[in-house]
Structure 1
C-alpha cells in the first residue's frame, strides 16, 4: 500500500483514531499490506477486524499484532496494545480505504484499472492479462479469486506509487455488488466474458444475472473501453448500456479480435487470432479447453488497447502453462493416465465446457472418465441443471461417470434415465469412496476429469489421483 498516516486513514474511512496504549499518533505513517486474515499479516501491516459468519475478526487482533500488525481497523475498541481506528462497519471501511488509495495513485501517477466480470473465466482472464502486462510494468492483480466485497478491495490496496496496471476481478452473488466494486476502483477498461447460470440462485435467474453483470460497463467513463464477447447475445446487449467505446472479441465475424481454426488437443488449444489491422497470428495456447479461447481473446483485446504489440502479447500468452491451480490442471502421466483437475469451481456452463473438452481431447480407444460433484449456489435451478449435466455426459459418450455426494446424486439418476444402465454411471457418498473406486478401476490410457464446485472439495481428490499416477 502507499504510505499514509493513521490520521489520513481515519479520515478516509470516517473512523476515530485511538492510540490504545501505544505511542502512536495520527501522524504515524504506515504502508504495509492490508489483510482480514490475521495469519496473513506481515510486519507493518494493517488488520481489518471483520465480523464473520462463523467467528469475529476482533478475536484475532492479538494474533495479528503478534505477526506484526501496526494498526487495526475495528468496530469497537479491543483491549490489545495496538493503534486502532474505530469504524461503524469494517467491510465498508475496507472499501473506502481502497477507493482512497486508488484515487491517490491515479492522481499522482499513470494507473489504469481493468475490471473483469463474467459468470465464468474471470480468474483465467486475469492471469492471462497479468502475464501479458507484468513484464512491461508493475501490475497488481488478485491472489486466487479475490473478487468480492472483501477480496477486491484487499487487492486494490496492494497498489503502490509505481503501479501501472490494476486488474480487478469483480464477482457478485446478487444485484448491486459489481456496481459497488466499480465505484471503488473506477475502471477505465471493463471486460465482460459471459453471462451464465453461475450464482443463479442469488440473482433469481439468468436475465437478472445479465443485469447485474451490466453494472461494470455501465460504470465505465465515456473515454473508457468496454471489451465485450460478441458470441454471447446477453453480453452483446450490454453495448447499449455503456458510455464507453466498445471492442468486440469472439469467433463471430464482427469481432475486432477474432479466433479461427480452433483445435483442441490434450496438450493445449491452438487457434489463429485475427486483428483489426489484418494480422493473422497462430497461437499455441497451453491452457486446455476451447472455452478458454474467449478468455485469451479478451486478454489480447485489453492488451492491445493498452499498447502491447499483438505479436508480443501472443508470445507472452503462450508462456502460460495453466489457467490457475485446480483449473483444467493436467496431472498424472504414468501408464498414460491423464488427470484433468478442474474442481476449483463449477457452474452449468463450466461443467458443460469441461465435459466437452474431455470428449475432445481423448484419443480413439482411450476411456473417458468424469468424476463429478455438485454445482453450488444454483438455488431453485439446481435440480434441472444437474439433470442437464447428467444428460450431457451420456450424450457425449463419456465412458465412466462417477458422481460424488448426495447434492449431486440427481446427476447420477439422470444419467441412468438417459441410458447408463450397465454401470456407466456410479454413485458414491464421499471423495474417499471415489478414490477407492477409481484406484481399482482406472486403467492405462484413461483420461479423467475431476469437476465440482469449490465447496465440495473434489480438487483434493484430483490432487490425490494426480499423485497416484505421477
Structure 2
C-alpha cells in the first residue's frame, strides 16, 4: 500500500481514532489483512465480523504479529493505534477507493477488471503475465474477487504501480457495481454468463444482470471487452457508453481465433486481429482457455500493448493456476489433468471435451467427477447432463465421488449399455483405491469438481504429489 499518515486513514475510513497516538504517524506501505495469520510487522489489520467467526477475536494475534494499526468496529484493549468505524467492510472499501484514486491522480495507473461465470482467475493470470512485462503490475493471488478480497487486492498498489488487475465476483446484485465504483476500470471484461453459482442468483437471467454491472457505469473513455460468442454477454453492449471491443471465435470479433487444436501438450490456434495473423501455442490445456486468452489480448490491446508482445507472454505460461487444468505425469507414466479447484456445468463440460480430445484412440480416458456446488434447483439436471456427456464422449472409465454427485453416475448408466464403466464411491480415499488398481502407463485421468468436494487433493495424490 502507499504510505499514509494515520489521520489520512482516519479520514478515508470515516472512523474515530482511539486514545492519543500521533495522528501524523506515517504507516509506511503496510500490507492490509483481514486474516491475523497473514499479518507481518507494519500491517494494517481490519477486524471484520463474519458468518463463522469475528475478526475482533483475533486482534491480539494481529498485534503480536506486528500490526501497526487496527481498524475495528468496537474498541479493543490493546496499545496499538486503532480506528473505530461503524462498518468495517465499508471502511475497507473506502480506504481502497482513496488509495486507487490517489495513485491514479499522481501517476499512470491503468485498471483492468474482469468478471464472468467462468474463467475469471485464468484470465486474470493471463493479464498479469502480459502486463508484468510492460511495467509494475498488481493482481490478486488466487481468487481474491469478493467484497473483501477485491479491495485488499487494490490496496496492494503503490505510486510505482502501472497496472492493476482486479477480479470481480458477485454473490448478489450490486456487488460488482460496488467494486467498479472503487476501482473505476479503464477496461472492463465480461467473459461468460453461465450456470456457475446459479443457486445464489436463481436463474441465468439474474446472473446476466449481475455481470452486466461491470460495463454499465464505464465512461466513454473506458473500454468494454465483451465475448462475441456468448449471447447474454453480447447484449450488454446496449447497456454501456464505453468503447466496445469484441473477442471470440465468431467472425464478427475484433480479436478472433481460428484453427483451434488441443493436445496433451497444450492448445494452439491462429489469432486474427487488426489484419494480423499469428500462430499461438499455449502450454495451457483446453479449448475454453482460448476464450480467456482472446479476452486478455483484447484488453491489453485496448491499453495500447503490442499484440505480438501479448502473445509471447501468454506462450510462456505453464499453467492457468494451481488445480486448474493442471497437467502432471506421475512416475508410472499416467497423465493427470487436475481441474478440481472449481466446477460449473460449463467448465465441467469443457474439461470432459478436452479429455476426449487429448486422449485419442491410443490412450484410455478416465474421468473422476465430484459435485458441482451452488447450482440450486439446477443441480440434479446438470449433474445428470454431465453423466450423459461422459458417455457420449466415450470416456472409458467414470468414477463419481460423493452422494451429491450421484446423478452423474445414474445418468451415465441410463445413457448407454455401460456395465461397470461408471463407479460411484462415497469418499476420495475409495476413489483412489479404485483408480490405483486400474491405471497404467499412457492413461489420461481428468479430476474435476467444485473446491468443496476436495478432489484436487486426489489429483495431487494420483500424480504423486504430497500436499
On the 8 A contact 2:228/2:253 being kept in 1, the answer is yes
**Could you give the per-residue CA deviations for residues 330-372 of structure 1, whole angstroms, max 9, x where no partner exists?**
0124333100000010001000000000000013131110001
Q: Indicate which of 406, 412, 416 corresponds to 2:413.
A: 416
Q: Which stretch shows the higher mean deviation, 340-349 or 47-56?
A: 47-56
Are the aligned partners of 1:342 and 1:449 in contact in 2 as well (CA < 8 Å)? yes
Partner of 1:2: 2
Q: Larger deviation: 431-440 or 316-325?
A: 431-440
- Give the TM-score of the pair, scaled to structure 1: 0.97
In structure 1, what is the equivalent of residue 317 of structure 2? 320
Residue 124 (structure 2) pairs with residue 160 (structure 1): no
**Contact persistence 2:247–2:255 (CA under 8 A):** yes
Q: Could you say which residue in structure 2 is the equivalent of 1:451? A: 448
1:404 aligns with 2:393: no
Asked if 2 retains the 8 angstrom alpha-carbon contact of 1:332 and 1:465, the reply is: no
Please name the residue that 1:425 is paired with: 422
Structure 2 CA distance, aligned partners of 1:266 and 1:135? 27
The question of whether the paired residues in 2 share the 8 Å contact of 1:394 and 1:420 is answered with no
Structure 2 length as normaliser, TM-score?
Answer: 0.98
Using the alignment, how far apart are the partners of 1:280 and 1:136 within structure 2?
A: 22
1:273–1:282 CA contact under 8 A, matched in 2: yes
- The superposition leaves residues 111-170 of structure 1 with CA deviations (integer Å, 9 ceiling, x where unpaired) of 111110000001001101110111221111011000000000000000101111110000
Aligned residues: 465
- In structure 2, the residue matched to 1:80 is 78
Structure 1 stretch displaced more, 75-84 or 281-290:
75-84
Query: What residue is the counterpart of 1:14 in the other structure?
Result: 14
CA–CA separation in structure 1 for the residues paired with 2:406 and 2:251: 41
SS of the residue corresponding to residue 255 of structure 1 reads: coil
Query: 255, 259, 266: which one pairs with 1:257?
Result: 255
Is the contact made by 1:171 and 1:178 (CA closer than 8 Å) also made in structure 2?
yes
CA contact (8 A) 2:331 2:464 kept: no
Alpha-carbon distance, 1:50 to partner: 1.0
User: Deviation of residue 421 (structure 1)?
Assistant: 3.5
The SS at the match of 2:332 is helix
Is 1:117 the counterpart of 2:115? The answer is yes
Which runs of 5 or more structure 2 residues have no equivalent in the other structure?
none
Q: Does structure 1 residue 290 correspond to structure 2 residue 290? A: no
Task: State the alpha-carbon separation in 2 of the partners of residues 18 and 3 from structure 1.
Answer: 21
Cα distance, 1:249 vs structure 2: 0.6
Root-mean-square deviation over aligned CA pairs: 1.2
Give 3-state SS (helix, strand or coil) of 2:437's partner. helix
Could you say which residue in structure 2 is the equivalent of 1:434? 431
What secondary structure sits across from 2:463 in the alignment? helix
CA distance in 2, matches of 1:343, 1:80: 42
Residue in 2 aligned with 1:105?
A: 103
Partners in 1 of 2:151 and 2:201 — Cα distance? Answer: 22
SS in 2 for 1:336: coil
Offset of residue 420 of structure 1: 5.5
Q: For the residues of structure 1 that align with 2:424 and 2:152, how far apart are their CA atoms?
A: 40
1:343–1:453 CA contact under 8 A, matched in 2: yes
**Separation in 1 of the partners of 2:380 and 2:240?**
35
Kept after mapping to 2: 8 A contact 1:125/1:295:
yes
* Alignment correspondent of 1:464: 461
C-alpha deviation, 1:78, in angstroms: 1.1
Which of 384, 387, 393 is the equivalent residue of 1:387? Answer: 384
For 1:220, the equivalent position in structure 2 comes to: 218
Q: Secondary structure at the match of 2:244?
A: strand
Cα distance in 2 for partners of 1:350, 1:303 equals: 25
Map of 2:373 onto structure 1: 376
- CA deviation after TM superposition for structure 1 residue 303, in Å: 1.4
